[in-house]
Amino acid sequence: MAEKTRYTDEELEEFRQIINEKMALAKRDYEQMMRVLTNEDSNDVDDTSPTYKALEEGSATQSKEELISMAARQQKFIQGLKAALVRIENKTYGIDRITGKLIPKERLRAVPHATLSVESKLNQKK
């Protein structure tokens, strides 16, 4: 029997569901981070407590930088998931972009936006 070169439509549909679930969670988390960054959810007293502001400014700046970094990573993750949905539509999802072989289902379930098998990823880092 010839080696399988792509996932079946049923398998692709399973991956689409996984991706859509992860996308919904990722978007929710991203929106929550953005609300925190823009102080939409805040009952903070930043503008009414100048005495403590100087002491906490460094900590707040670091937290904001970390949140910005996390939001950027989340946005990149969402873009990766969107690209995976395009690959599902094109029926090229789950194909290692270096070897052209199928990425194992276990990897795709864990990292649904993967474009490389673990082996290819390790070889790429060398």
pLDDT at 102 over 90: yes
Q: Which residues are bridge partners to 95 per DSSP?
A: 102
As given in the structure block, the two tokens for residue 78 are 């969402």
Dihedral of CA atoms 55, 56, 58, 60 in degrees, nearest 10, equals -170
For 78, the domain range is 9-125
Q: Is 2 part of a structural domain of the chain?
A: no
* CATH at residue 49: 1.20.120.910
Q: Using 50, 70 and 90 to split pLDDT, how confident is the model at 15?
A: very high
Residue 82: inside a domain: yes
**Per-residue pLDDT band at 53 (split at 50, 70, 90):** low
Confirm whether 4 is domain-assigned: no
70: in domain: yes
Residue 3 lies in a domain: no
What's the number of domains the chain is made of?
1
For residue 30, what pLDDT band results from cuts at 50, 70 and 90? very high
